[in-house]
Amino acid sequence: MKYIEATENFIVFCCGKGILVYQNGNSEGRLIDLPSTGTTPGSEVGALNIKLSPDEKYLAVACESKVVTVWCTQTWTLQFTHSLVKRPVSIDITSDSMTLLVADKTGDVYHFPLKEDSSVKEMSECADSNGTEEKITDSKVESEVLLGHLSMLLDVAVTKDQKYVITCDRDEKIRISHYPNAYNIESFCLGHTEFVMQIDILPGEEPLLLSCSGDGTLKLWNYLSGHCLSSADTHEHTTQYLHHFEAFCQQKVKDSEEAKRFLPDRPAVKNFSVYTSKDGDCYVAVIVDRVPALLLYKIEERKLHYVSTTETKENFPLVVNWLKSGELIVEQSSLDQPLGVYQLQQNLLTSLNNHPLISFSLKHKEEFNRGKKELSIDILYKQRYDNVADYLKKKQERLDTEKAAEAGIVRPVKKGRWV
């Protein structure tokens, strides 16, 4: 789930029932309220995922109310409202800014035209010529299933050449399918032992894919062959901060004994963001669940190398995103300072106190805090049942009872169907 989207001219934030837009050169910002429409009456309206088209003319917003809205960034008017059967999880837009892909929680990926077709445009122009102010915003395009998984999807991405669509799910799989003939599967990237939270196609000519998972690792793949080129275990660099995660787990167990069935042994990698400098160096900023620190990795010669750790004290990072200029935006758990901005200097992330985005976040503190809710990943872990232990326990009880009956301590138990 992507709560921050940054391009050359726009930075967009999910803020509960609205989206907050920061446009370069304009510190005022723009708050856009999401329409209260959806397939379920009375369903909660909230932004789950946002994506700007490569040409920066359209913004797609996936909402909890089972709709995806498309906005024009030139006028900030609503263009389309695509209704879905199930709640959307992730969205992506093709490099030609023509097609919108939506992955839902049941494992299906749908695709819609991002821009209005000629017939809709003629109807809109006709309505304008008649002096009516009504806008055509309700999508009449039938949703088409592009592909499907047998598990909950967590992210979707289309390659820049639009030859492949890549999806990842709760069952540790990363699937590379041909686009648009997604029934033709090119390969699988297998190796994670927990759900795959996020995937990102790296820029360049090589078919490189970066993924993060609930098993606490980052993995670099050749997505065409499905081979894992490099793996980085974040547990090695978060040991001194694990008491925060352990305290969280203890509290979950205290609240409910059922939490023992799904709580992991180590924290998951929740989010990462990739930045390529002007010199061609590729850096990855990583946040780990319930760890007050930012991890920095570097990709060199198709390998992941650990660089540094930047402590954020008691302020937990929630989402990270690199700007094109090289600064790192961090949405934080703090209510007093919703955003943090870091600069990369000599392989270290240094906090910036004076930055337009910090002033922007303080000015719109109410909007940030209203929509702030930490991404819960507890439901993504599979519950563990130890049926063998229960069976062995009952078997031992039966054997003990039989021995006690033979010794005359208890009455013998009659065997058979009727007792």
Alpha carbons 143 and 141: distance in angstroms, whole number: 6
Mean pLDDT of 374-389: 73
Q: Residues of the chain with pLDDT > 70: what percent? A: 87
Ranges of H-type helices in 225-320? 242-255
218 — phi, psi (to 5°)? Answer: -105, 140
Type of residue numbered 45: V
The mean pLDDT value of the chain amounts to 86
Q: For residue range 91-129, list pLDDT tens digits in order.
A: 999 999 999 999 999 999 999 998 765 334 433 443 444
pLDDT for the residue 197: 95
Long-range contacts at 16-20 (CB < 8 A, ≥ 24 apart):
16/46, 16/47, 16/367, 16/370, 16/371, 16/372, 16/373, 17/45, 17/46, 17/47, 17/370, 17/371, 18/47, 18/367, 18/371, 19/47, 19/50, 19/59, 19/61, 20/364, 20/367, 20/368
End-to-end CA distance of the chain: 58
Which two tokens mark 227?
């081979």
Interacting residues of 145 by C-beta distance below 8 A, sequence separation 6+ = 108, 109, 110
CA dihedral 63, 64, 65, 70 (to 10 degrees): 10
In the chain, what are the helix, strand and coil shares in percent, each to the nearest 5? 20, 40, 40
Q: Are 79 and 22 in contact (CB under 8 A)?
A: no
Residue 200: pLDDT band (50, 70, 90) is very high
Q: For residue range 26-55, list pLDDT tens digits in order.
A: 777 899 998 876 555 555 678 889 999 999
Alpha carbons 312 and 291: distance in angstroms, whole number: 9
Q: Are 342 and 351 in contact (CB under 8 A)?
A: yes
Is there a cis peptide before residue 180, judged by omega within 30 degrees of 0?
yes
